[in-house]
Amino acid sequence: MAVAMAVFLATSALAQTAEPELYEGETLKPVTMPASGPLVLEGWTRSGKATVYTLAVKKGQSYALNFTPSSAYAYLVVFDLSKPEDEAMYSSDINGKQAVLKADSDTTWLIRPYFSRVASRRGLGAHYRIEIMAR
């Protein structure tokens, strides 16, 4: 039983520190919350080519998120890297462009803005602005 628990704990720790899988053309940028005020992320996304962010969050902390894209075809998803499933904990096309997210554990979130490939004929990409504020 003790061995099984040790393997589980090692696997959980590995899941939190594992590098996220990136799509071709994406770059990874770790970010941290500022001492005061919102974390502001701005950039450009085009057919999966964008900056993807990681943010360490603390258990029990709530974060207000506001996503402002320059195109209706730009979206944002947030994943909890400590959870093995591929399902996003937040998706702007389902949950809207504003949300409050709560951290269930000390973990790292992957924040991925993207431009819909289906819409690629409607433009080359889109600017975006993401504001995250600890509450």
4 confidence band (pLDDT: 50, 70, 90): very low
Rounded Cα distance between 112 and 23, Å, is 10
Structure-model confidence comparison of residues 124 and 1, the more confident one: 124
Q: Are strands 98-102 and 39-45 parallel, antiparallel or unpaired?
A: unpaired
Rounded Cα distance between 117 and 88, Å, is 18
pLDDT tens digits, one per residue of 18-30: 678 888 889 999 9
Structure-model confidence comparison of residues 122 and 80, the more confident one: 80
3, pLDDT greater than 50 = no
Q: Which fold has domain 2-134?
A: Jelly Rolls (2.60.120)
Rounded Cα distance between 27 and 79, Å, is 16
Q: Are 55 and 33 within 8 A, CB to CB? A: yes
The closest of 64, 68, 92 to 78, measured between CA atoms, is: 92
Structure-model confidence comparison of residues 96 and 12, the more confident one: 96
Q: Are 9 and 35 within 8 A, CB to CB? A: no
48 confidence band (pLDDT: 50, 70, 90): low
113, pLDDT greater than 60 = yes
pLDDT for residue 84: 80
Looking at residue 82, the DSSP 8-state letter turns out to be T
pLDDT tens digits, one per residue of 58-100: 999 999 999 999 998 899 999 999 988 778 999 999 999 999 9
Give SS3 for 105. coil
